Amino acid sequence: MIPETRRWNEPHRLVLMAIAIAIVLFAAYNMRWDWLPRYSGKLVSGVGTTLWLLFLTSVLGFLLAVPLGLAQAAGPVWLSAPARAFCTVIRGTPLLLQLWLLYYGLGSLFAYWPEIRQSWAWPYLRSAWPYGVLALTMSFAGYEGEVMRGAFAGVPKGELEAARAYGMSPWTSFRRIWLPRAIHRALPTLAGETVLQLKATPLVATITVVDVYAIISRVRQDTYLTYEPLLLLALIYMLLTGVLVLAFRWLEAKVPVKGG
């Protein structure tokens, strides 16, 4: 097998980079970018919405994934069966369908209920944001719950027995040993799941949440351009993915791996 020693300044790479730069310059000069200044403010706020959505749903989803994983790994059957069913359904159907089921389906059901229509919650339930957050949170919880199940089950029995032998109550040993060890084991998958979650966020634009994808869609409608806005959008998501990957690499370097 060919050894994987590669440097950035090998001759063929310099040529490839020159070609790439030429393509970018060609695109910059020959395509239409005059709409960019008009929409730059909206684009920034759209990116902000996307990132906020990503952060919120990942954190909420992870908080939900811990009990889901625990119920499947160690719960009695009346807890583990529903948890397993939840993960199977979430992982077995497309996110777009779940999103539309919640927004159109649940939204139209709520409309039948006069009690809900007259309550304080109605203005929120009529907007798209809660449904987008709910769908993305459940999706993250479903996928990560499966990971946490494996992580909880994979913590060596001896460590838990040692905790009991030291006289820790079940709750203390869970808090001090089981949960931290399980999270530690699940950490490497977290980066990948978060990138997948970032790539799932543009779906909420189909239910009128105004994220960066929705802004670009509006640019396409206003200017009748096909490629320029989409290429910019792809570039934005590539940058966000890159930053996310680097951030997680930094985070993983901070977490001690001794004995892991």
Partner 1 sequence: MFDWIAGLAAWELLALEPPGWGGVLLKGLAVSLQVAVGGYLLGFLIGVGGATGKLYGGPILRDLLDVYTTLVRAVPELVLILLLYYAGTDALNQIMILFGAERVDISGLAAGIFVIGVVQGAYQTEVLRGAFKAVPHGETEAARAYGMSPLQVLRRITLPGMLPHAVPGLSNLWLIATKDTALLAVVGVAELTLVTRQAGGTTKSYFLFFCAAGLLYLMVTLLSNVVIRRIERYARRGMPAVR
Summarize as ranges the residues that interact with partner 1 (CB under 8 A): 1-2, 6, 10, 12-13, 16, 88-89, 91-98, 100-101, 104-109, 112-114, 195, 198-203, 206, 213, 226-227, 230-231, 233-234, 237-238, 241-242
Residue 21, CB half-sphere, CA atoms under 13 Å: how many?
6
- Name which of 12 and 157 has its Cβ closer to partner 1: 12
- Name which of 163 and 211 has its Cβ closer to partner 1: 211
To partner 1, the closest distance from the beta carbon of 123 in angstroms equals 20
To partner 1, the closest distance from the beta carbon of 36 in angstroms equals 18
To partner 1, the closest distance from the beta carbon of 122 in angstroms equals 16
Residue 5: C-alpha distances to residues 1, 59, 260 (Å): 12, 38, 28
To partner 1, the closest distance from the beta carbon of 178 in angstroms equals 20
To partner 1, the closest distance from the beta carbon of 93 in angstroms equals 4
- Name which of 100 and 168 has its Cβ closer to partner 1: 100
- Name which of 170 and 242 has its Cβ closer to partner 1: 242
The rounded distance, in Å, linking the Cα atoms of 59 and 81 is 24
- Name which of 41 and 94 has its Cβ closer to partner 1: 94
| Three-class DSSP labels, the chain | CCCCCCCCCCHHHHHHHHHHHHHHHHHHHHCCCCCHHHHHHHHHHHHHHHHHHHHHHHHHHHHHHHHHHHHHHHCCHHHHHHHHHHHHHHHHCCHHHHHHHHHHHHHHHHHCCHHHHCCCCHHHHHCCHHHHHHHHHHHHHHHHHHHHHHHHHHCCHHHHHHHHHCCCCHHHHHHHHHHHHHHHHHHHHHHHHHHHHHHHHHHHHHHCCCCHHHHHHHHHHHHCCCHHHHHHHHHHHHHHHHHHHHHHHHHHHHCCCCCC
To partner 1, the closest distance from the beta carbon of 23 in angstroms equals 12
To partner 1, the closest distance from the beta carbon of 187 in angstroms equals 20
- Name which of 96 and 251 has its Cβ closer to partner 1: 96
- Name which of 68 and 228 has its Cβ closer to partner 1: 228
Q: Please, are residues 105 and 72 in contact by the beta-carbon 8 Å criterion?
A: no
